[in-house]
Structure 1
């Protein structure tokens, strides 16, 4: 399962930009969770709907 922790966000008009930490359960017993940050850019279209989403994943090396 993947859990998401919001780190920060900025709202500029109809656009929301935010960073979150994605945390996944480690398949190895007793091992720590696997964490990786990502940035999202979403544009609000109105009427409770989003018109665009861009995901930028920052994976470990």
Structure 2
């Protein structure tokens, strides 16, 4: 999870540079969508694992 946060910060720094050019707006939109999907997937896979673990304990 820490690695994802570091990558996110680096990408925001790159986006800040690109934002001075017109590409930044499009890149920012795509990136926010990408990170939303990534976060959703991580939460989903984590809950799946927890369900498996609770089943194994029983």
Smaller-chain TM-score range? under 0.3
Higher strand share: 1
- The TM-score with structure 1 as length reference comes to 0.18
Kindly indicate whether structure 1 or structure 2 has the higher relative contact order, using CA contacts under 8 Å at least 6 residues apart.
Answer: 1
- The TM-score with structure 2 as length reference comes to 0.18
Larger radius of gyration: 2
